[in-house]
Structure 1
Amino acid sequence: MTPALKRDLRHRSAIEPAIGRVKTDGRLARSLLKGSLGNALRTALCSFGHNIHLIFVHLWALMVEILWLLFRTIAATAVAKGISPFSDRARSVMLDTD
């Protein structure tokens, strides 16, 4: 097998799960749009929806990481001031309302 053919097969193996997901979630078995243009539009719209889904998944993971870092920073600041981060007083210390 040539290196180019191996590369193409690896690429196809990486793409196949995405194609399967678009086919099942996008319900590509039957298109209600008329003609080959309708089929092409349906495929493009399903691919667009799949990409938007991936973007939202990455944004969700980023939001979770940011919130985790924020909580960790708040907890470290409260502990440095000698307050339990889970107490009612921790909020006032973080907002400097003393």
Structure 2
Amino acid sequence: MTNIEMEEKLSEQGFSAREIALLKHRVEQDTTTYQALLIDLRKRFIGCVIFLLVVLFYFGGAYFIRGKPDFLSTILTLIFTLIVFWFLAPLKLGAKAYLFIRNNSYL
């Protein structure tokens, strides 16, 4: 599949023009393919979701064990963790890549 066909397919699957331009820039910069880039984004997304669930369960369990005095620090830590992961791993783009690969089994 050519890059133009892949960009049209991405557009049909809900990727915005800005996101496609970002992916195109990354493909040209790293001399890779769209398929490899989407698979990498999918792996990052799955890893981040698993890590965020672990953090959520840890702090949720800590809340029930320690009680309400640590509630504020727990919430602030969760918010900080979400913000860090939002910028380190593009969760929105990763989610779209995950859904794209799931819907297109030939990738």
Q: What interval of TM-score do these two structures reach, taking the shorter chain for normalisation?
A: 0.3 to 0.5
Q: Which of 1 and 2 has greater Rg?
A: 1
Could you tell me the TM-score, scaled by structure 1's length?
A: 0.41
- Of structures 1 and 2, the one scoring higher in RCO (CA 8 A, sep 6+) is 2
Q: Greater helix percent: which structure?
A: 2
